[in-house]
Amino acid sequence: MIGMRMVDVIQKKRDGETLTDEEIRFFVDGYTDGSIQDYQASAFLMATYFSGMESEEQGALTMAMVESGDRIDLSAIEGIKVDKHSTGGVGDTTTLILAPLVAACGVPVAKMSGRGLGHTGGTLDKLESIEGFHVEITEEQFVRQVNDLKLAVIGQSGNLTPADKKLYALRDVTATVDSIPLIASSIMSKKIAAGADAIVLDVKTGDGAFMKTPEEAEVLAEAMVGIGSEVGRHTIAVISDMSQPLGFAIGNALEVKEAIETLQGRGPEDLTELCLVLGSKMLIAGGKTDDTKEARHLLREVIDNGAALELFAKFLEAQGGNPEIVRNPELLPKAPVIREVKSTTTGYVSKMEADEIGVAAMLLGAGRATKEDDIDLAVGIVLKKKIGDYVEAGEPIAVIHANSEDTQKTESMLCKHIHISRQPKKRPPLIYKVIDRTN
C-alpha cells in the first residue's frame, strides 16, 4: 500500500479507532511476507488485545488470513459444503459420528483433517486405528468420493493460512493468545481456507475447555457468528458443556468403538444428544431443511434404519479401511492390560475434572505432547459414571486400557480428579445456547 505506515495503523488501533480493510490487509500481507517485523506486529497485537475489533474488522482480518496462502477449492462438489469445528475438549468423538450421520441425510461432508496435539489424537488418528484406512488420497479422488458417497476425509496438505500460523506463534510469546477477535478470526480463517461454505461451531465451556464460563463462551461464539455474516458464510454456534468428558470413552480406538455404538443408536446419552443438536444445525446450514424438529427427525431416521452406519462402512472401504469393524468392533486395536478403578467411598459423582482426566489418558499414550510423539491407538480410559450418578464403595468408576502393568499413576489421577460427595449433585446442562442469526 503506497504511503501506508505500520506505525500509524498501530496508533489507530491503540486509540480504539476502527481500521479499514486496506489497513488490516496491509498488516497481514506485510507480516506474512516479512516486510513488517515482529516488534511492530507485537505492538499491533497488544493494541488489539486492549482495544478489541469491530465485526467488520474481524471479517477483514479473517479474509486477509485466508488469502495469505492456499485455499481448497470444493466447487466441484455439489451442494452446500458445511464444516463443523469444535473449540476442543476431552473425549470429543462428535466428528466421527456427525460425518456419516449428516452425509447419510444427503449433505456433503468434505473434511480435511490434521493430526494436532492433545489428550487423544485428532479425527485422523482415530480413523487410522481402523486397519488399512488412509487419508492420502488425491484431490480428484476426494471430490469424486464426496459426490458419490457424500463423505470423504483427506489429510492436510498445501500451505493453508500461513499468516495465522505466524501470528499464532507470535501471540504465544506476547501474551495475546486470549483475545476474542484474534481467536475468532484464527478459527474462522482455517475453516474458510479449507473450503467451507457454512460452518457449525461447537463452542465448549467448563473446566476442560478454553472458555471456562458459558458467558465467555458466548462472547467467542457471537464473535465467530458475526465474522460469518461479515464474510458470507452462514455460521451457527452451539455452546456445550465440557465440565466433564463427553461420552464415556477417551482414547482413539475406544472412541471409534463409541462412535459406532452411537451410530447404532446405543451410544452415551450426552454424546448422542450433542450429535443430534450439532447435526440438525449442519442439515439446516446445508440447506436440507429450515426446521430443527424435522432435521432431528431425519437424523434419527438414518440411525434407526442403519443408513448412517452403512455409509460409515462404505466410506471406510473407499479409503482402504476394513468395513467389517462396524459390525465387529473387536477388530480394533486392543490394549493388553485392562484394569478397573474402584471408588473408595459411597456417594454421588460431584465433579469430573475433564482436563486432568484427559492428561491421564495422554500419559497412557493416547495423545501427543509434541508433534514427534507416537500415539498408542489402543490405550485410554472408559468412564463408568457421569456427574450426578450414584456410586457405591468398591464399584468401578472407570476402566483403564493400558500397554503396561504400571497403571498406578493413572489410577491415582483418576481417583483424585473424579470427586465423590455425600450430597446428591445435579447434572450440568449439556447445551447452554444456540446462536443462529438467521432465526
230/270 with CB nearer ligand URA: 230
Cβ within 8 Å of residue 276, ≥6 positions away: 296, 299, 300
273 in Cβ contact with 96 (< 8 Å): no
To the nearest whole angstrom, how small is the minimum distance from the Cβ of residue 328 to ligand URA? 37
Q: How many CB atoms lie within 10 A of CB 293?
A: 9
Write out 357-402 in H/E/C secondary structure: HHHHHHHHCCCECCCCCCCCCCCEEEECCCCCCEECCCCEEEEEEE
186/252 with CB nearer ligand URA: 186
Rule CB under 5 A: which of 234-293 touch Ca ion? Answer: 247, 249
To the nearest whole angstrom, how small is the minimum distance from the Cβ of residue 182 to ligand URA? 6
- From the list 83, 125, 164, 207, the catalytic residue is 164
186 binds, among Ca ion, ligand URA, none (CB under 5 to 8 A by kind): ligand URA
195 binds, among Ca ion, ligand URA, none (CB under 5 to 8 A by kind): none
In 3D space, the residue among 119, 146, 130, 145 whose CA is nearest the CA of residue 209 turns out to be 119
134/168 with CB nearer ligand URA: 168
Known catalytic membership, residue 70:
no
Q: Which residues pair with 433 in a beta bridge?
A: 239
How far is Cα 235 from Cα 209, in angstroms, rounded to an integer?
21
379 in Cβ contact with 251 (< 8 Å): yes
To the nearest whole angstrom, how small is the minimum distance from the Cβ of residue 177 to ligand URA? 6
402 binds, among Ca ion, ligand URA, none (CB under 5 to 8 A by kind): none
Nearest-5° angle of CA 400, CA 92, CA 382?
A: 15
What type of residue is 25?
R
Burial of 78 (0-12, 13-18, 19+ CB in 10 A): exposed
How far is Cα 136 from Cα 6, in angstroms, rounded to an integer?
42
Known catalytic membership, residue 71:
no
91 binds, among ligand URA, Ca ion, none (CB under 5 to 8 A by kind): Ca ion
113 binds, among ligand URA, Ca ion, none (CB under 5 to 8 A by kind): none
Residues that bind ligand URA (CB under 6 A): 168, 182-183, 186-187
To the nearest whole angstrom, how small is the minimum distance from the Cβ of residue 268 to Ca ion? 7
Rule CB under 5 A: which of 78-117 touch Ca ion? Answer: 91, 93
187 binds, among ligand URA, Ca ion, none (CB under 5 to 8 A by kind): ligand URA
Residue with cell 506463534: 169
Q: What angle do helix axes 38-51 and 6-14 make, rounded to 10 degrees?
A: 20
45/143 with CB nearer ligand URA: 45
43/357 with CB nearer Ca ion: 357
How far is Cα 362 from Cα 76, in angstroms, rounded to an integer?
39
To the nearest whole angstrom, how small is the minimum distance from the Cβ of residue 100 to Ca ion? 16
To the nearest whole angstrom, how small is the minimum distance from the Cβ of residue 163 to ligand URA? 12
For the window 21-60, what string marks contact with Ca ion as x by the rule CB under 5 A? ----------------------------------------
Known catalytic membership, residue 385:
no
Give me 84's grid cell. 463443523
User: Integer distance in angstroms from the first to the last C-alpha of the chain?
Assistant: 40
Nearest-5° angle of CA 316, CA 126, CA 360?
A: 160
Length reported for the chain = 439
Known catalytic membership, residue 86:
no
How far is Cα 128 from Cα 141, in angstroms, rounded to an integer?
19
- Give φ, ψ of 199 to 5 degrees: -135, 130
To the nearest whole angstrom, how small is the minimum distance from the Cβ of residue 102 to ligand URA? 22
43 binds, among ligand URA, Ca ion, none (CB under 5 to 8 A by kind): none
- From the list 111, 190, 234, 385, the catalytic residue is 190
194/259 with CB nearer Ca ion: 259
382 binds, among Ca ion, ligand URA, none (CB under 5 to 8 A by kind): none
**Integer angstrom CA distances of residue 79 from 86, 282, 433:** 23, 13, 28
49/312 with CB nearer ligand URA: 49
Known catalytic membership, residue 85:
yes
160/378 with CB nearer ligand URA: 160
To the nearest whole angstrom, how small is the minimum distance from the Cβ of residue 81 to ligand URA? 20
240 in Cβ contact with 431 (< 8 Å): yes
**Residues annotated as catalytic (active site), given as ranges:** 85, 164, 171, 186, 190
Residues that bind Ca ion (CB under 5 A): 91, 93, 247, 249
